[in-house]
Amino acid sequence: MARNIRSQGEVKLLVGTTPRAFDPTLPGVLGSPIKDRSTVTITPILMDGGRGVVGRLTPVVPGVTPTMSTGTITVADNDFTTGSAEVILGDYHLLSYIDFQPAVLLADTAIALAAAINRFPGFRASISAPGVIVVRGMNGDDDQVAFEVRHFGTHTNFTLSPTSGFFTVGSPVLGPPVLSL
Tell which residue, 120, 166, 159, 123, has the closest CA to residue 143.
166
Domain count, the chain: 2
Radius of gyration of the chain from its Cα atoms, rounded to whole angstroms: 24
What is the pLDDT, as a whole number, of residue 36?
A: 74
The pLDDT tens digits for 72-108 are 999 999 899 999 999 999 889 999 999 999 999 999 9
- Indicate if 155 and 99 belong to the same structural domain: yes
Statement to judge: residues 99 and 56 lie in one domain: no
In a domain, 78, yes or no: yes
Share above pLDDT 90 across residues of the chain, in percent, rounded to a whole number: 40
> What would the mean pLDDT of 58-62 be, rounded to a whole number?
62
Mean pLDDT of the chain: 81
Asked whether residue 10 is assigned to any structural domain, the reply reads yes
- Is 75 in the same domain as 134? yes
**Structural domain containing residue 109:** 68-161
pLDDT at position 142 is 43
Residue 19 in any domain: the answer is yes
CB 78, CB 105: distance < 8 Å? yes
Among 54-68, 72-86, 116-130, the minimum mean pLDDT is found in 54-68
pLDDT of residue 39: 81
Assess whether 91 and 21 both reside in one domain: no
170 is a domain residue: no
Residue 38 and residue 92 in one domain: no
Instruction: Look at residue 76 in the predicted model and tell me its pLDDT.
Output: 94
Give the pLDDT confidence score for residue 105 in this predicted structure.
93
pLDDT over 70 at 168, yes or no? yes
Type of residue numbered 66: P
Cα gap 3→91, rounded to integer Å: 11
Do 157 and 100 reside in the same domain of the chain? Answer: yes
